[in-house]
Amino acid sequence: MDRRDFIKVAGGTVLAGTSCTYAFRFLTSSSMSDAGVDSTLAKRKWGMVINLDKCKEDCTACLEACREENNVYHDEDDRWDINWIRKVKIEGKIGSATTEKTMILLCNHCDNPPCAQVCPVQATYKREDGIVIVDHHRCIGCRYCMIACPYNARFFNFKDEEHWINPDRPKRTHGVAESCHLCAHRLDAGKMPACVEACEKIGCGALSVGDFNDPESNVSKLIADNSVKRIREDLGTEPKVYYIGL
Partner 1 sequence: MPNNTSDPKSGQVIIPVILIILILLPFGYSLVNRVIAQGSDRSEAFLERPDAKYENCIRDTEYMRYHHWELLRTVRVEVVRYGKRGDIRLDSCMECHPNRERFCNRCHEAVSLTPDCFGCHYYPEIFQPSSIESVTEKTELIPVPDTTVVDSILTK
Binds 160: which of ligand SF4, partner 1, none (CB < 5-8 Å by kind): partner 1
Size (the chain), residues: 246
Q: Look at residues 201, 222, 202, 203 and name the one whose alpha carbon lies nearest to residue 211.
A: 222
In this structure, is the dihedral angle defined by the CA atoms of residues 180, 63, 69 and 241, taken in order, positive or negative?
Answer: negative
Name the packing angle between helices 194-201 and 61-70 (round to 10°): 140
Binds 139: which of partner 1, ligand SF4, none (CB < 5-8 Å by kind): ligand SF4
Stretch that binds partner 1, among 5-13, 101-109, 129-137, 206-214 (CB under 8 A): 129-137
Binds 167: which of partner 1, ligand SF4, none (CB < 5-8 Å by kind): partner 1
Chain positions contacting ligand SF4, by CB under 6 A: 107-110, 113-115, 118-119, 121, 123-124, 132, 134, 139-145, 149, 151, 153-154, 177, 179, 237
Contact criterion met (CB below 8 Å) for 37 and 201: no
User: Residue 37 CB, nearest distance to partner 1 (Å)?
Assistant: 5
User: Residue 122 CB, nearest distance to ligand SF4 (Å)?
Assistant: 8
CA geometry: angle 52, 75, 208, nearest 5 deg: 25
Position 101, amino acid: K
Near partner 1 by CB under 8 A: residue from 133, 139, 198, 231 = 133
Residue 155 to residue 17: CA distance in whole angstroms: 47
Q: Look at residues 226, 94, 70, 219 and name the one whose alpha carbon lies nearest to residue 157.
A: 70
Near partner 1 by CB under 8 A: residue from 21, 28, 30, 39 = 39
Stretch that binds partner 1, among 37-45, 53-61, 219-227, 229-237 (CB under 8 A): 37-45
Does 121 interact with partner 1 (rule: CB under 8 A)? no
Characterize 57-79 residue by residue with b for buried, 16 or more Cβ atoms within 10 angstroms of its Cβ, and e for exposed.
eebebbbebbbebbbbbeeeeee
Q: Which residues bind partner 1 (CB under 8 A)?
A: 37, 39, 41, 125, 127-129, 133, 135-137, 160, 164, 167-168, 170-173, 184-185, 188-189
